Amino acid sequence: MIGRFRSVAQLIASISPEVPVHLLRPHRIGAAARTFVDGFPGDVAFAVKCNAHPLVLTTLRGNGVRRFDVASPLEIERVREAVADGIAFYHHPAKTVSQIAWAWGQGVVHFAVDCVAELEKLVNHTGAGVVPMVRLAIPKEAGAVYDLSTKFGAPPARFLDTVRRAAELGLAPGVTFHVGSQCLSAEGFRLGIRMACELIAEAGVPIALMDIGGGFPAYYRKTQAPPLSEFFRVIAGAKAEWADPLGIRLMCEPGRALVAEGGSLLTRIVLRKPEAIHLNDGIFGGLCEVYWGKEELSLPYRVLTADGATRNGPVERVTVYGPTCDGNDFLPYPLELPAGTTDGDYIEFNLIGAYGREMAGSYNGMVSNAVAVIEADFAGHGGHE
Ligand SMILES: *Cc1c(COP(=O)(O)O)cnc(C)c1O
């Protein structure tokens, strides 16, 4: 943490950073957490892989989010260190026996499984009270920008086998699914809840908890999705129709929608050429997710001068190269930059609080751990175009 600043302009004026700086806006993370805690009809967990910075975890805890979806022992440790009373849900469906045994020893009770083999591993390396969360694969039509059911989740027949086997083993299983990341329509959740409840009824096994995953959208430049309140309304309707009659409680575990707006990335122009710029960060760093070139996820950005003033005026399209010597290290779309943009200027990319700093590597020795808190909102043009 390099400091706390009222605004990005004040940060630039005081420290003129040459390395990329991840800017956190805890007030935005707190507001997003309260939106979920107040609006979602069930418990709210946070998917730690989006952003495991201690300030992010403590801010969420301070705003009512006490549950954390984790996928590794290191993520469990990060939660433990930041949030003493945090509850970890080990929702990776493929774990080693030592990971399972270690997590159980740490007090973790909920573990995702998506086949009988993983379920049996779980039974053999934990003890009484363990809750297998059987993960169902959701069809692609759910409407997400990223499909997550290609890799994890049991198709219906295997889902039924796994739930029934858990009951035979004397366990009280839960159920989980993930509609995919950046889901643009609430129908995906409705479909998931309905499909899971119909299968649960068919299995004839009592289920207390259904975790409907993450996938709630953040509002990037081109996002055409209804507000979160509409997602909550549709989910509450599906809960009343299908889950309530079976006595099933809901939980969700968003990542992106809780923290994307709570972080931006302050990069600096190393070299200006007529048609391109070389930036001090790129797709192997904080702009990793941009690499996938999903237009839907295009980031809002703004240019500031070396003095911290906002640069405006007519724009031109410019290719953006990242700092490494790898030929793949450029942004998949050009940026529109004000004509006078030059060496030493800064570009602030917003909505990088999810899948930004966590994904950054240290390729070519290009790495920055600098994090600062900014008290003001992002001052560029914000969400929708
Ligand atoms: C990545 C992930 C999430 C978070 O997804 P978002 O799209 O960021 O909300 C939640 N649950 C699991 C199991 C995940 O792998």
Question: To test the ligand 1 pocket, which listed residue (181, 185, 351) has its Cβ within 8 A of the most ligand atoms?
Answer: 181
pTM: 0.96
- Better-scored residue on pLDDT, 292 or 47: 47
Q: Which pLDDT score, from 0 to 100, does residue 295 have? A: 77
Residue nearest to atom 13 of ligand 1 (CA): 91
Q: Of 254, 238, 143, whose CA–CA distance to 198 is shortest?
A: 238
Q: Tell me: pLDDT of 141 over 80.
A: no
Q: Give the ligand 1 atom nearest the CA of 135.
A: 13
Q: Tell me: pLDDT of 142 over 60.
A: no
297 lines ligand 1 (CB under 6 A): no
Q: Which pLDDT score, from 0 to 100, does residue 241 have? A: 98
When pLDDT is cut at 50, 70 and 90, the band that residue 230 belongs to is very high
Asked if residue 183 lies in contact with residue 189, where contact means CB atoms within 8 angstroms, the answer is yes
Torsion of CA 242, 248, 253, 256, to 10 degrees: 20
Asked if residue 143 lies in contact with residue 188, where contact means CB atoms within 8 angstroms, the answer is yes
List Cβ neighbours of 91 (8 Å cut-off, separation of 6 or more).
69, 70, 71, 110, 111, 112, 133, 135, 176, 211, 253
To which residue do tokens 């096994």 refer? 205
Q: Which pLDDT score, from 0 to 100, does residue 31 have? A: 98
92 lines ligand 1 (CB under 6 A): no
pLDDT digits (tens, 9 = 90+) for 353-362: 999 999 999 9
Q: Which pLDDT score, from 0 to 100, does residue 385 have? A: 38
265 phi/psi in degrees, rounded to 5:
-125, 125
Q: Which pLDDT score, from 0 to 100, does residue 250 have? A: 98
Q: Which pLDDT score, from 0 to 100, does residue 384 have? A: 41
When pLDDT is cut at 50, 70 and 90, the band that residue 204 belongs to is very high
Cβ atoms within 10 Å of 79's Cβ, excluding its own: 25
pLDDT digits (tens, 9 = 90+) for 10-49: 999 999 999 999 999 999 999 999 999 999 999 999 999 9
254 lines ligand 1 (CB under 6 A): yes
Domains recognised in the chain with CATH numbers: 4-23+260-374 (2.40.37.10), 27-259 (3.20.20.10)
214 lines ligand 1 (CB under 6 A): yes
Question: How far is C-alpha 372 from the chain's CA centre?
Answer: 20
Asked if residue 46 lies in contact with residue 353, where contact means CB atoms within 8 angstroms, the answer is no
Q: Which pLDDT score, from 0 to 100, does residue 149 have? A: 66
Torsion of CA 14, 60, 73, 169, to 10 degrees: -170
Tell me how far apart the alpha carbons of residues 34 and 38 are, in angstroms, rounded to a whole number.
6
pLDDT digits (tens, 9 = 90+) for 313-329: 999 999 999 999 999 99
178 lines ligand 1 (CB under 6 A): yes
Q: Which pLDDT score, from 0 to 100, does residue 343 have? A: 97
Q: Which pLDDT score, from 0 to 100, does residue 150 have? A: 74
Cβ atoms within 10 Å of 17's Cβ, excluding its own: 18
Tell me how far apart the alpha carbons of residues 114 and 107 are, in angstroms, rounded to a whole number.
21
The rounded Å distance from CA 148 to ligand 1 centre is: 9
- Look up residue 188 and give its DSSP letter: H
259 lines ligand 1 (CB under 6 A): no
Alpha helices (runs of H) in 140-286, residue ranges in sequence order: 156-168, 187-203, 228-238, 256-259
Please give the biggest Cα pair distance in the chain.
Answer: 70
Average pLDDT of the chain to the nearest whole number:
95
The rounded Å distance from CA 149 to ligand 1 centre is: 11
Q: Give the ligand 1 atom nearest the CA of 146.
A: 7
Asked if residue 385 lies in contact with residue 222, where contact means CB atoms within 8 angstroms, the answer is yes
135 lines ligand 1 (CB under 6 A): no
49 lines ligand 1 (CB under 6 A): yes
The rounded Å distance from CA 178 to ligand 1 centre is: 7
pLDDT above 90 coverage of the chain, percent = 91
The mean pLDDT of 361-373, rounded to a whole number, is 95
Q: Which pLDDT score, from 0 to 100, does residue 297 have? A: 85
